[in-house]
Structure 1
Amino acid sequence: MSSPLSPTLSQWLQKRHGLFIDGAARPARAAAEMPVIAPGHGGVIAHVADADAHDVADAIASARRAFRAPEWAGLSIRARARLINRLADAMEAHMEELYQLETLNNGRPLRETRAQLARVPDLFRYNAALAIARRDSVIPVEGNYHAFTNRGPVGVVANIAPFNHPLLIASRNLAPTFASGCTTVVKPSELTPLTTLRLAEIFTEAGLPPGVFNVVTGVGAAAGKALSEHPGINKLVLTGGTEAGRSAGAAAARNFVRQTLELGGKTPVIVFDDYSVDQAVNYAAFGAFVGAGQTCVCAARHIVHRRVYDEFVEKLARKADGLVVGDPFDPRTQMGPVVSQRQRERILDYVRIGAAEGARLAAGGVVPAELSESSGFYVRPTVLADVHPDMRVAREEVFGPFTVVLPFDTEEEAIAIANGSEYGLAAAVRTTDVARAHRVAKALEAGIVWVNDHHRVDAASPWGGVKLSGIGREFGQEAFDGYFDTKAVMVNTSNAPFDWFDVTQTNARLN
């Protein structure tokens, strides 16, 4: 397998990577470590510290000190915005290194990594602009009163990030954290911690004060649990599976911590018969197989009008069979490995579950023959056809290059199938009928709906789900506002004498 890493990055990987607390790397208290595996070849590429509850407490204490320190809390809004823009510039200057490191660590093809991460610095610039543009409200009230709101940063943010998009998802929460004046402890996935650790170093070198950005590496059951249940945090931001969110959210709720949780999904895509089948298939492959399908908004359920159903299945299967699976650093590769052997076995298990339920395997569902001797975690992009809505493969999140196809006859039936899920993160519609597009988008139970597209996001557009797909929103003004506590201030502008207990007083007002 080719890995054209820069000499600087190769040298960096050879270090023993500690926790990042108070602006510097340090080992875990118990000196525990864990290996980091490259999905592309299955080998160990680094060792990182394995944090326990004591390490997590140290990181939270560091973040709390920094939250009150004049180097951070004393910054004016404009000075903080200038600093955040410097962070964006520093990140941009290191992007080639970050592209390579992320591709090596999570197995995404380098072309995909570049396409996803190139715009990440702008998340910081957007939130810096929101900080400058922020206005608190003046509230008109009756009587001789001036009422207004005053917002302040909530405090210490616990940021638990997943393996699939480590740098993007960490950054989409770091940006409003810094712009609001909060501080943070980030717990990246134990599978893909490397870009987060490197980003902490880059930001510190660019002038971010110590303790504002701390990183604890470790497994979710230990470090993640300790972080989410610690009384020293003020906000929990987690992206992950629904069960992980349920567990961490319940722990944080005991301390009445505010939460933003982006959890599981089973994204429905409704394909109407007025839309180009070829274009629908291209979007289907993009939605289902980009990132090896390891996205919460993976196009997991294609609900296709019966008049074009057979053609759609045949062309999607052919498209899936034609994709080049392989080395993520090879420019010819169109889909890389999944993140681990465990994840690959989960996907193959669902192929067997689908067959037992009566679904037809139209494409994939196997380890690529040409990579059968590889130690990497490769699997062919998989399409199951003739699926019914009550099958497990149509209801449960697989989190891999795995999609199912179901037929429908009427618009109402398509909407009912799409909404017949416990998840509600994203949905998509394929149609040329403008009225139908608006009508169906409104009817779909999801936090995000794409019409004739998939996976698109913008720093200004809110992102999040309904039902078991989570609570709260990331990106946009909605996310930025979620990092503040709002204080209501009411000023009596009258000097008239007041004595509530003077019974001769008339027109007394209690509230």
Structure 2
Amino acid sequence: MTSLIHEFLKPGINKGLFYGGRFQKPHTSAVIEVLNPATAEAFTTVPNATVSDVKAAVTSARSAFGGWSELDPLDRSRHLHAFAHVLRSNMSSLALLETTITGRSIREMNAQMARIPEWLEYFASIAIGLEGESNVVKGGYVTVTHYEPLGPVALLTPWNHPILILVKKLAAALAAGNTCVIKPSELAPVSPLVLAALATEAGLPDGVVNVITGGPATGAALCAADDIHYIDLTGGTSTGRKVASLAGERLIRTTMELGGKTPVIICEDADIEAAVAGTLFAAFVASGQTCVSGARFLVHDKIYDSFVEGIAERTEQITIGDPMDKTTQMGPLISQKSKDRCLRMIAQAKVDGAKMIAGAGPLNLHNDFYNGFYIRPTVFKDVETHHELFLEEVFGPVVSVTRFYSDHEAVEMANTGTFGLGVSIWSRDIARAHRLSLKVRGGVVWLNDHHRNDPRSVWGGVRDSGFGKENGWDALRAYLTKKSVIVRTAAGHDDWFKGVGRYG
């Protein structure tokens, strides 16, 4: 399969959609152009799938559902472990593909790719241990419960972590016995197609993993498809509202991981060196393009100047350039639109009176990358709570630093706005940090660290950051429905209309 990945690494390759265990010719000649963000040049195209294409992929998922869902969990587990092995065997090539499409540095992608098979192995393992219950209840009855998969499900995935976020969803959905139709972001749709082909190589039955590519209309058609029984979305909050509306019309369940504006609280007793290093990672890994990027630093007055000095110095030292160069620490943004948003918010922060302490210098890029979607990592201090930069998600490497004087004020600042996904708190007093964690709004809180993820650590947000959970038993059960079977064990029989027996 490495040869297939290398084929996709060549510019201009368009093998169509993937469903039914093979690449398929779409019902349209319309395509979406995929750019290399490091150069802003066209890299390849993918089909802009039609309603007919969506229907074909969903039909394929339905055809495979019976056989896949009826497998014993042990047999499904073996399939998923084989899939994990295939991913490990193709790890370096997948990292190259991800870097080409997203602009993420190859150093980052190699590190991230090494963790991804763990999600398949984890869910393959815990699904074996999913057991129902039985209870003896009043009146001579036994209730027996067991779990059933839902059917074909829709996975809508983003461009910032095309394989990682997809596998997080896919592993739980498949382990539960569902079949999947994946609609990746039109900005980074290539690696999900390859991943589906790898699943087939690993021995998963045809039609269990299917991928359609396209824009918003394709996604809407998938969400509205009659035979889709669950929608799992990672994306922006505005997209989440639209998908929730479509799901609500059909009364199907959803999980949504949406936007964020992650606060980082740094107390006066924090280890400054550790806090600077950790928050640098929080702010600028993936060029600041994650939903839990450390976006607003809330720093106690007693250490404010020291922290500002440290974060400014370290930010200016970040190496920007060719994402394929192993010495590059930060690559480009995903698109010109993202770059323009960052530049506009930088300009507005200056108008608002915030002080830029890092990011003003030239990029000094090699000519090959002059037109790429690069922006220097940028830090503003003295940002106030009513400033746009404090309130609005940037989704890029532009962060704010704001002073606080008490824990109460820090919590109020952290809870300002409508998001509630990630939070991190830095303090040597772990009891204090834990008390703060109970008062801040967020689905994931790190103490003296940031952005750590594991298949066993439940992940999800509240309010405008979405609902439902990824990872852990919560994610597996979300892809299942629990059925109750009631068995009469009492002797004889009831005849209500002859006055024999009881009601209820």
TM-score range, shorter chain: over 0.9
1:36 aligns with 2:24: no
Q: Shift of residue 41 of structure 1?
A: 1.5
Greater shift, 470-479 or 18-27, is seen at: 18-27
In structure 2, the partner of 1:481 is: 477
Q: Distance in 1 between matches of 2:7 and 2:116?
A: 25
Distance 1:367 1:488, change over 3 A: farther
- What are the Cα deviations for residues 142-191 of structure 1, in whole angstroms up to 9, with x where unaligned? 23111121210011110000000000000001101111110011011111
Aligned partner of 1:271 among 266, 286, 290? 266
Matched-pair contact (CA < 8 Å) for 2:5–2:194: no
Q: Distance in 2 between matches of 1:17 and 1:395?
A: 42
Matched-pair contact (CA < 8 Å) for 1:288–1:299: yes
SS at match of 2:33: strand
1:406 aligns with 2:402: yes
Q: Distance in 2 between matches of 1:60 and 1:9?
A: 25
SS at match of 1:468: helix
- What are the Cα deviations for residues 28-57 of structure 1, in whole angstroms up to 9, with x where unaligned? 201222221111122222221111222111
- What are the Cα deviations for residues 437-495 of structure 1, in whole angstroms up to 9, with x where unaligned? 11011111110000000010111111000111001000111000101011111111012
SS at match of 1:16: coil
Q: Shift of residue 497 of structure 1?
A: 3.2
Matched-pair contact (CA < 8 Å) for 1:371–1:378: no
In structure 2, the partner of 1:359 is: 354
1:333 aligns with 2:328: yes
In structure 1, the partner of 2:172 is: 176
1:422 aligns with 2:415: no
1:300 aligns with 2:300: no
In structure 2, the partner of 1:87 is: 83
Distance 1:310 1:77, change over 3 A: same
SS at match of 2:329: coil
Q: Distance in 1 between matches of 2:366 and 2:380?
A: 22
Q: Give the letter aligned to residue 25 of structure 2.
A: P
1:123 aligns with 2:119: yes
In structure 1, the partner of 2:503 is: 510
Q: Distance in 2 between matches of 1:85 and 1:492?
A: 40
Q: Shift of residue 140 of structure 1?
A: 4.3
Aligned partner of 2:228 among 221, 230, 233? 233
SS at match of 1:139: strand
Q: Distance in 2 between matches of 1:462 and 1:166?
A: 20
Matched-pair contact (CA < 8 Å) for 2:139–2:490: no
Aligned partner of 2:237 among 233, 237, 242? 242
- What are the Cα deviations for residues 411-447 of structure 1, in whole angstroms up to 9, with x where unaligned? 0110111011200001010000121011011111110
1:109 aligns with 2:105: yes
Q: TM-score, normalised by structure 1?
A: 0.95
Q: Shift of residue 10 of structure 1?
A: 4.2
Q: Give the letter aligned to residue 113 of structure 2.
A: L
Aligned partner of 2:15 among 17, 25, 33? 17
Aligned partner of 2:342 among 333, 339, 347? 347
Moved over 6 A (4+): none
Q: Distance in 2 between matches of 1:12 and 1:226?
A: 27
- What are the Cα deviations for residues 83-106 of structure 1, in whole angstroms up to 9, with x where unaligned? 111111111111111011001110
SS at match of 1:186: strand
Q: Give the letter aligned to residue 247 of structure 1.
A: K
Q: Shift of residue 13 of structure 1?
A: 3.6
Q: Give the letter aligned to residue 90 of structure 1.
A: V
- What are the Cα deviations for residues 52-98 of structure 1, in whole angstroms up to 9, with x where unaligned? 22211111111111112x3x233222111111111111111111110
Distance 1:8 1:492, change over 3 A: closer
Greater shift, 355-364 or 391-400, is seen at: 355-364
Q: How many residues matched?
A: 500
In structure 2, the partner of 1:389 is: 385
Distance 1:24 1:366, change over 3 A: farther
Q: Distance in 1 between matches of 2:171 and 2:151?
A: 15
Distance 1:485 1:36, change over 3 A: same
Matched-pair contact (CA < 8 Å) for 2:6–2:93: no
Q: Distance in 1 between matches of 2:331 and 2:323?
A: 5
Q: Shift of residue 244 of structure 1?
A: 0.7
Q: Distance in 2 between matches of 1:13 and 1:287?
A: 30
Q: Shift of residue 367 of structure 1?
A: 6.3
Q: Distance in 1 between matches of 2:78 and 2:475?
A: 20
In structure 2, the partner of 1:61 is: 59
Q: TM-score, normalised by structure 2?
A: 0.96
Q: Distance in 1 between matches of 2:386 and 2:403?
A: 13
Matched-pair contact (CA < 8 Å) for 2:69–2:149: no
Greater shift, 88-97 or 131-140, is seen at: 131-140
SS at match of 2:438: helix
Q: Shift of residue 365 of structure 1?
A: 5.8
In structure 2, the partner of 1:199 is: 195
Q: Distance in 2 between matches of 1:189 and 1:375?
A: 23
Matched-pair contact (CA < 8 Å) for 1:17–1:47: no
* RMSD over equivalenced CA pairs, Å: 1.6
SS at match of 2:107: helix
In structure 2, the partner of 1:3 is: none
Q: Percent identity?
A: 41
Q: Shift of residue 371 of structure 1?
A: 5.4
Matched-pair contact (CA < 8 Å) for 2:378–2:399: yes
Aligned partner of 2:205 among 202, 209, 212? 209
